[in-house]
A and B are shown apart, each in its own frame.
Chain A
């Protein structure tokens, strides 16, 4: 790897961080309302017909557009629905909005509010891969051990996108497990001996271990 190449990469990473910093500062300046609070521009979006009859739970007596200073909504206590992860920090209107009764959507699970970017291919239990704080998937190699292709050797330290062409757009399936599907260029470059000339174009695992690709390990 050349020095010029390393310098370019460093420049790009620094530019990326600088750009992010500027963007984050820009959005931080946006007038964000208090969490779990309310401001006049927001609503009310919801009808109040299912709210408690005790108005003073939320409102001051000076005006219905003022909420009490200590207004805090304990979602679990008031509704029986516990908020977890990033949902505890989400603004009320992300779920309670013009779309309709939130209960109808939450009953559908994650897909009631979140796009299913995997297009119905990975099931409905998002939490088997994602955690609710940052939605970042964790532990994919352990999960891969429950497939017909457990990740062994260098496959465990290979970027997902090298085999799953659509990984960055959420599309992982179907994926072929035959070696040649991902290692076509390696096969074409294997000239000592010439694998293609010898007809060695399948069952690479008879001679190659997944710890290395460019030489066969035998006794």
Chain B
């Protein structure tokens, strides 16, 4: 047998391994993490000289999104280090893992340094002389008695990881806001006015039963009055937007439940629901779920009980960072017990590291023979596509496309439409907006084009923003704009002034525009329109926000004004 003959050789190799490792070129991998971003192209890491790092060492970062970003150690403390990245555009986020390959010889020397020194003569303290200086040099002062209760138990390592407190160990928390808002619009002609006052709250009571759930209450009390020629309209309403309890869906619990009145979390496009939603998250981050209940009408009354819905969704994510995801969902509704809407929604988003983002969604309605206005078939009733690119210096470009059409549904969701409008109405719009720094100034603008079932038109604006022109921390903006609309063309200019103060801000806007009515049969189809607005906002660190605004529109033969305030307490 030849194999037994190899054993002595293997033993020799094993015995020689430490020596081989210490030879020139042998390396050890030191794992580390980014703890913060530093100035310029630097990041802080959680390793220092005590871990064997030295200035000049190469470090490789391994971001979650893939790739390997390099850097070099620039500064060191005992337990922390500063690493300068090779590429200033590639700065890893805090938490990113990395590694440095260090020569094994460095650790051999370090280990040798840490070997206990040869036994020194023990300082002797006579037992009958407490407090006497021992012989043989400095002695550390006596440690004061340990008084704290640090929940340490026998057998627990002293340098254990910090355990998070689970919901059962935490106390409930209350957060949210209460607000009051009042707006008054009035026009000089016919003494028309519109009052809208409301008081509301958005409360979140977290962990109420020690299971990590959340009670959510969001509602408003509204007062509306509209005074027009003829009978005045006045009403007060209490509207409950959200009243739900949700639990699960956390890092500890992949399954999530919500019951009550809530906006569906899995697919918000399906709307607010009076019912129940279940969703589950798989190990790879994909999610799926379903919901059942009644859809409140999206009106100030939020009447419920007419539209029963069943919905399900599936969401795919590329990895744990969720930078790439897509979802698909289906909703079936019954209006007063009769089949109503079959809606399929698909959407996606791509959020790479480079500043780009892509979003899109499409709503497809499926009609049967019972849908008389549109007839059997499928209909794209909404589509939204957008892509954006943002740079660190505030440059940005946004491009979007929107398609809208009315779905043939029985549910009360729109103002009353004629059958012709329901069948033919559509609107498509493409828009591009951009912003470019120009020294300390900023140029911004946008162009857009639209078409609907009858016409097509376009709009555009171009502005220049001056920072600190009139006052420090201020912003002055001059914008020219034009729009070719469905019924009117509008051309004008606007001056905006914003001033940021320590406690809030001022915003002033003046606008002068010439509107020309397109289809008007007579010559006096021009209308000079002036608008102005002043807004004052105040904020406190204790959670109070206040805003007051005054605005007006001056026309040729009449004027309109608006006044309002907003007071909010967040906690």
Contacts and interface: CB of A to CB of B under 8 A. Distances in A.
Interface of A: 1, 5, 9, 12-13, 16-17, 19-20, 23-24, 27-28, 30, 32, 35, 41-54, 62-65, 77-80, 86, 89, 91, 93-94, 97-101, 103-104, 107-109, 115-117, 119-121, 123-125, 133-134, 136, 138-139, 141-142, 145-150, 152-154, 156-159, 161-163, 165-166, 168-171, 173-178, 180-182, 184, 189, 203, 205-207, 209-212, 214, 217-219
14 contacts: A5-B232, A12-B197, A13-B197, A19-B221, A49-B161, A62-B148, A80-B37, A115-B263, A145-B481, A148-B429, A150-B490, A161-B300, A168-B299, A203-B519
B461 A123 contact: no
Given A176-B414, A182-B415, 4 more contacts: A5-B234, A78-B36, A174-B427, A205-B517
A176 B425 contact: yes
Given A147-B485, A181-B417, A211-B527, A23 B165 contact: no
B570 A205 contact: no
B165 A43 contact: yes
B427 A148 contact: yes
A178 B537 contact: no
Given A157-B562, A181-B421, A148 B171 contact: no
8 nearest CB pairs, A to B: A157-B560, A80-B37, A41-B171, A98-B250, A166-B298, A50-B95, A20-B180, A218-B522
A219 to B, nearest CB: 5
B21 to A, nearest CB: 27
B442 interface: no
Interface size class of B (residues with CB under 8 A): 35 or more
Given A50-B94, A152-B490, A161-B300, A146 B431 contact: yes
B178 A13 contact: no
B391 interface: no
B421 A176 contact: yes
A152 to B, nearest CB: 4
Given A42-B173, A44-B162, A166 B195 contact: no
A99 B250 contact: yes
Interface string B182-197: 1101010101001111
Given A152-B515, A159-B185, A206-B519, A124 B386 contact: yes
Contacts of A108: 322, 349, 351
B566 interface: yes
A45 B206 CA distance: 13
A165 B415 CA distance: 7
A118 to B, nearest CB: 9
Contact of A146 (B263, B359, B483): B483
Contacts of B487: 149, 177, 205, 210
A218 B555 CA distance: 17
Contacts, number: 355
Contacts of A217: 522, 524
Contacts of A32: 543, 571
Interface string B498-527: 000000110101010001011111111101
A177 B426 CA distance: 11
A46 B164 CA distance: 6
Nearest to B167: A98
A124 to B, nearest CB: 5
B331 to A, nearest CB: 12
B521 A218 contact: yes
A80 B517 contact: no
B321 interface: yes
Nearest to A207: B521
B527 A153 contact: yes
B148 to A, nearest CB: 5
Contact of A45 (B165, B490, B541, B547): B165
B80 interface: yes
Nearest to B455: A148
B322 A107 contact: yes
A104 B321 contact: yes
B409 to A, nearest CB: 12
Contacts of B515: 150, 152-153, 210
Contacts of B459: 145-147, 150
A100 to B, nearest CB: 5
Given A133-B539, A138-B507, A149-B487, A9 B427 contact: no
Given A53-B79, A173-B404, A145 B483 contact: yes
A180 B302 CA distance: 25
Nearest to B490: A150
A153 B268 contact: no
Interface string B93-111: 1110000000000000000
B368 interface: no
Nearest to B193: A1
B311 to A, nearest CB: 13
B286 interface: no
A20 B177 CA distance: 11
A30 to B, nearest CB: 6
A99 B251 CA distance: 5
Contact of A134 (B148, B547, B557): B547
A219 B299 contact: no
A80 B93 contact: yes
Contact of A154 (B269, B414, B560, B561): B560
B557 A44 contact: no
Given A9-B195, A48-B162, A28 B44 contact: no
Nearest to A47: B164
A63 B148 contact: yes
B386 A212 contact: no
B556 interface: yes
Contact of B361 (A20, A65, A120, A219): A120
